[in-house]
Every structure is written in structure tokens, then in C-alpha cells.
Structure 1
Amino acid sequence: MEERTRAMTTPKIAFIKAQWHANIVDQSLAGFKSEIGDAQVDPFDVPGAFEMPLLAKKLAESGKYDAVVAAAFVVNGGIYHHEFVSTAVVDGLMQAQMDTGVPVFSVSLTPHNFQETPDLIKFFTDHFVKKGAEAAKAVKATLAVHAAL
């Protein structure tokens, strides 16, 4: 009951950020924090998206967090790896929540084409702020549903 009460009042959330394109991805945490309210948010950095699912599972298993959020920017760099990386990451995040019972959320985006131009960097930076805020809304709604069970 104590865990349920904590989740309803001041949830504790782990926020994983992949550091490829950190200048863009880090904005998801800013958007998340602007929307999440009084929740405690602990950020964790990993080298890339592929490292997120295992850390998400370990954080969820720790019993310290009511939810885990993972953010990454997986770009098409002209070689065929972004599709299997993004699929593996999302599948791994889903498996982490299914194995642990702790909700895991993805703010992982895979644009069709990305060039490091000022206009596209600004577009995706702004987009990650928006997606972070949307993730915060999803976390609050999901935790409320779980608390009501």
C-alpha cells in the first residue's frame, strides 16, 4: 500500500537519455520536467539507444522507481542499421515493462531523413521538448490507472 500511495502522490521516475545527438535528446527531459509536476525525476545517460532496454529493466527491478522513461534519436545515417536498432530498442523496452510490471515509456524517435542543418536541428530539438511533455502526461495517466487497480 505504501508503494501505491507514493505513486499517487509523488512518484519517482527514472529518465534514460541516449547520448547520440545529446543536444537534441536532452530536450526531452526538459519537456518532461516542465509537465510532470512534483515527481522526483532521476536522469541517467547511456552511450546510445541500444543500451537503454537493459538499464530500463535494471532500474525497474530495483524497486526504486514507479516508472521508467527512455529517450533516443536513432537516425538513418545512410547505412542499414537504424531500423533494427530502433526495433530492438522498442521491443526491449516493452519486454522490460512486461518482465518487471513497472511501466516503461519510449521517447525514441527515428526520423526518415535527418541532416545536421540548423533548421532540422531546431525542428527536432523543439519536437523532443514536446514529446517529453507528452511522455509526462502518459506517465501521470498510466500511474493513476495502476494506482486505482
Structure 2
Amino acid sequence: MDALFFWLLFVTMRTVQLRDESNPPFLRDADLKIVDEFRLLLDESTNMTAPQIRIKVEGWIANQSSQIQIAFSKFEEEVEKVRKDAMMAHDVRVAELSSDVQKADLQMMAIASDENLTEKEKETQIVTIMNGLDPSKRSELIRSITAEDISTS
């Protein structure tokens, strides 16, 4: 599994936590104690790199029931499929963007896949790039991202 997978897992789980309190799919039937342990693990991961998070998540999963391990394995497969679909949609959309937005997108993708950066550093750098864009360029990028989210749902 690559760094982008774990970054996507991290972002997905943080988004789920911010949006509502629903459980991650692989913990849907787990006890609340187990779910809380996993959420704490993610909360403590913002200052870790993707490889550090990978080790932490894999170690935690290895200590769970076989039901959770199997569910997580299926979740990884689904995330990988969604990632591939999203990357294909992303490549198509990027080709339609202005050169300034393409450049910003390329910078953000490089940041997202940089295994030497912590999740907090990635977030900070990506927000800096977004905030540095002219408002019309930022809107162009956001529309593109929103269109990708809709097309891969």
C-alpha cells in the first residue's frame, strides 16, 4: 500500500468524523470502545508521516478480531478501487483546467503523496497553496474537485 492510500484513509476518516459520528465501514459492527480506540489513533496521527500512520494502523488492526481484520481488508480494496477511479477522473478534469490551476493541482498532489511530510504539514501546505490562488482560480479548482467527488460517488 502506498502513502497516498493512507493519506486518503486519514482524510476520509477525518471527514467522516467531522461530518457526523458514523463508524468507519470496517468498524460498523464493532463495540463503541473499539471505535473510540481507532478514532483516538487517528486523532494522534496528525503529526505523523504516512509510513508512521501505516505502521500504527496495521498494528492496531492486527490486534483486532478476525471479523474486523477481514472488514478492513475489504475496506482497503474498496479504497484502492475508489482511488483508481478518482485518479482517472482527476486526470481528465486536470486537462480541462487553466495552466495556473494545473500547476497548483500538481503541487498539491506532490504534497499529498510526500511520505516525509506529516498529515498536519500536508494540510498546512495544501491550504497555503489554495489560499495563494486568485479567487477565480481557487473556484475553478474547487469546482473541479467537487465534480470529481460527484463522478466517483
TM-score (structure 1 length as normaliser)? 0.31
Considering only CA atoms, is the larger Rg found in Structure 1 or Structure 2?
A: 2
Larger proportion of helix:
2
